Amino acid sequence: MTESLSIAFLLFPNVTQLDLTGPAQVLSRLGNARLDLVWKTLDPVPTDAGFSILPTATFADVPRADILCVPGGFGTNGVIADDEAIAWVQTVGAEATWVTSVCTGSLILGAAGLLEGYRAGCHWAQREMLPLFGAIPVDARTVVDRNRVTGGGVTAGIDFALTLAAMIRGEAHAKAVQLSLEYDPAPPFDSGSPEKADADILAAVKRRTAQLMPTRDDDLRVLAKRRGYPRETYE
């Protein structure tokens, strides 16, 4: 019989919904698995796409899980500043079989003390911030280091989830999920990474991000110090 699994996704205000819903769609097909979207209350949680998602459970309802997955988004710094949210990530991550993230969710894992000495992925725009928390940044769609599995930015969450599905249920199962989702990407443009994008496009994206969140990195450095980082051994 297939081993039962509990999967907990952190849901938080201003999450990038595809960071969450992409891998959630894949992992929901692991078979014999319960998947929860977890936040402080069961009230609708606004995403950065302009619509809200309903949590299925609260922190108190989910004290442990086999798989912890933390998405990213514009609300990442808000989570890192939130003692209750970080405490839940620490508690669940300490006992989870798999500790995972997508996009800037790895910064949340780092702030919770779960990535020290681990290789990790992140969205390209903030990958260089991972060493603040003792993590080793890697430029890859999916990074596997022991039981830490982290994805790059946004759409990499689907790749990450298929990789994790193969590790848990086997490659044949993961391939079947991929086929059922018709995940056969053929984007109309070859502009999906800083290395491939035209210089003017890259500059425009950086300008837009800076306008939306002008103090994001500086705020993150302040929050890292509040969480006790960088540790002496990583300075």
Examine residue 47 and state whether it is found in any structural domain, yes or no. Answer: yes
Number of domains in the chain: 1
Structural domain of 93: 5-189+220-234
**What predicted TM-score, i.e. pTM, was given to this entire model?**
0.96
Q: What is the mean pLDDT of the chain?
A: 96
pLDDT over threshold 60, residue 53? yes
Q: Which of 32, 23, 117 is closest to 72 using CA atoms?
A: 23
State the CATH number of the domain containing residue 69.
Answer: 3.40.50.880
Among candidate residues 20, 35, 62, 103, the one labeled active-site is 103
pLDDT over threshold 80, residue 50? yes
DSSP string, the chain: -PPPEEEEEE--TTB-HHHHHHHHHHHTTSSSEEEEEEESSSS-EEBTTS-EE--SEEGGG-S--SEEEE--STTHHHHHT-HHHHHHHHHHHHH-SEEEE-TTHHHHHHHTT--TT-EE---TTTGGGGGGGT-EE--SSEEEETTEEEE-STTHHHHHHHHHHHHHH-HHHHHHHHHHTT-----SSS-SSTTTS-HHHHHHHHHHHHHH-TTHHHHHHHHHHHTT-S-GGG-
Confidence of residue 234 (pLDDT cuts 50, 70, 90): very low
Examine residue 61 and state whether it is found in any structural domain, yes or no. Answer: yes
Examine residue 97 and state whether it is found in any structural domain, yes or no. Answer: yes
Give me the mean pLDDT over the 209-232 stretch. 94
Q: What tens digit of pLDDT does each residue of 151-192 get?
A: 999 999 999 999 999 999 999 999 999 999 999 999 999 999
Examine residue 210 and state whether it is found in any structural domain, yes or no. Answer: no
pLDDT over threshold 80, residue 77? yes
pLDDT at 232: 60
For residue 103, indicate whether it is catalytic.
yes
Examine residue 25 and state whether it is found in any structural domain, yes or no. Answer: yes
Percent of the chain scoring above 90 in pLDDT = 96
Give me the mean pLDDT over the 120-130 stretch. 98
Examine residue 123 and state whether it is found in any structural domain, yes or no. Answer: yes
Examine residue 87 and state whether it is found in any structural domain, yes or no. Answer: yes
pLDDT over threshold 70, residue 235? no
